[in-house]
Amino acid sequence: MPCPALPEGFDFTDPDVYRSRVPLPEFAQLRQTAPVWWNAQPHGIAGFDDDGYWVVTRHQDVKEVSTKPEVFSANVNTSIIRFNASMTREQIDVQKLIMLNMDPPEHTRVRQIVQRGFTPRSIRALEDALRRRAGHIVAQARENGSGDFVTDVACELPLQAIAELIGIPQDDRARIFDWSNKMVAYDDPELAITEEVGSNAAMELISYAMNLAAARKECPAKDIVSQLVAAEDEGNLGSDEFGFFVLLLAVAGNETTRNAITHGMHAFLTHPGQWELYKRERPATAAEEIVRWATPVVSFQRTATQDTELGGARIKKGQRVGIFYSSANNDPEVFDHPEVFDITRDPNPHLGFGGGGPHFCLGKSLAVLEINLIFQAIADAMPDISLAGDPRRLRSAWLNGVKELQVRYG
Ligand code: HEM
């Protein structure tokens, strides 16, 4: 179905579009005129042997796709909506070793195991250490007077949180951080990270994690690695499975939280009334609104396992279906004035952490904790922080990323 408002060739996964903005007006057009819309693409441009994908824009439809894994598979073509056209099918299929790209029952097995590391108790156990880290990060930034908020503040806590969670020894953290940073964002030529550097970093991280798992298996300690890998036959992870899990954490937990924090800071600085309110009242609802506002993951995809119907569109078996969280989070059917940044918004049924199915973000509580801790630390130690430049956006097909935000720490 053509959408009259969109220019010929417009693609909701074109990384160049996201270099300047998230296409919110175009999503609004689709929600009104063709809520499930076929986005044609030049053959194979996304790395798949096809000519396009469905764009799912309404909140209710994103939820429906997310909660029906038997109809909408995360495994057939993975959850990643766009790879480089040069990727081989073999390279894409390797990604199926991470749980984000598995379907039940395999996904259920892995999820049940790794969930042990993310219980409310394990997350609470990190709180004091992360609060100290947040205070330290903010104090250091303040000493600089001014600088790039992304590198000075937003990057560090998510990296530390994952390292803390897995129990990575302090001496190894710099290496882990370096690999994690290299793995993301190879779509952006300015970062000068080639695909080869990115995949080498991924291999090094996996092999580090596998070695860590093997060591803990041999000699268990009181940490989560030992819990996840000891006694494989009792329903635990093998060393290789653990390696891919750490890889997923490094991607899923870093870039997302870092961008939520950066977009949140930018939103506060461009909505001074909300910043004053935050400093005064610190409402518990703020973190969820920051994630809705930021929607760091613009989209993931599923593949139809059978002919089906969604939002008035007839989807054929084998076709790819893009679930656009950015659109769902701005759906006026669900949110009053979604264009307003309101840290007291309640209820706030946003889909920034996913549409509620089996893949719903495993790290949600950790992410919310990190966001709360960093903004509390900023409000305490540099309440007069101000903007010193416009955000510079990341070139990416599916992440709402900011790579630089100059501020004065005050
Ligand atoms: C603001 C920060 C974050 C956002 C916006 C976010 C968003 C998401 C989204 C959209 C999904 C996919 C949901 C679906 O397909 O239904 C997801 C999955 C996942 N996230 Fe997060 N995430 C964040 C932080 C984290 C953190 C801190 C961690 C861990 C340290 C984490 C670990 C994961 C994992 C392991 C999955 C895959 C779960 C599965 O396949 O079962 N995320 N996240």
CA-nearest residue, atom 17 of ligand 1: 361
Please report how the helices 239-252 and 195-218 are oriented relative to each other, as an axis angle in degrees rounded to 10.
130
Q: Where are the alpha helices (DSSP H) in 145-194?
A: 149, 156-166, 170-183
The alpha carbon of 10 and the centre of ligand 1 are apart by a number of angstroms equal to 28
- The set of protein residues with a Cβ atom below 6 angstroms from ligand 1 is 66, 99-100, 111, 162, 248-249, 252-253, 256-257, 260, 291, 296-297, 300, 325, 352-355, 357, 359-363, 366-367
Expressed in angstroms and rounded, the spacing between residue 251 Cα and the centre of ligand 1 is: 9
Q: Judge contact between 303 and 318, C-beta under 8 A.
A: yes
Tens digit of each residue's pLDDT, the chain (410 residues): 556 579 999 999 999 999 999 999 999 999 999 999 999 999 999 999 999 999 999 999 999 999 999 999 999 999 999 998 888 999 999 999 999 999 999 999 999 999 988 999 999 999 999 999 999 999 999 999 999 999 999 999 999 999 998 888 889 988 988 888 788 666 677 765 677 888 889 999 999 999 999 998 888 887 788 888 886 666 888 888 999 999 999 889 998 999 999 999 999 999 999 999 999 999 999 999 999 999 999 999 999 999 999 999 999 999 999 999 999 999 999 999 999 999 999 999 999 999 999 999 999 999 999 999 999 999 999 999 999 999 999 999 999 999 999 999 98
CB-CB contact of 137 with 374 (8 Å): yes
How many other CB atoms are found less than 10 A from the CB of residue 28? 18
| pTM score | 0.96
Atom of ligand 1 nearest to the CA of 370: 27
Query: Which of ligand 1's atoms lies nearest the C-alpha of 366?
Result: 27
Distance from the alpha carbon of residue 248 to the mean position of ligand 1, in angstroms:
9
Q: How is residue 98 annotated by DSSP?
A: S
Sign, CA torsion 262/257/37/334? negative
Spatial separation of the C-alpha atoms in residues 275 and 265, rounded to whole Å? 9
Instruction: Give all domains of the chain, ordered by start, each with its CATH number.
Output: 15-408 (1.10.630.10)
114's CB contacts (< 8 A; 6+ apart) are: 99, 228, 237, 245, 362
Tokens encoding 299? 């989209």
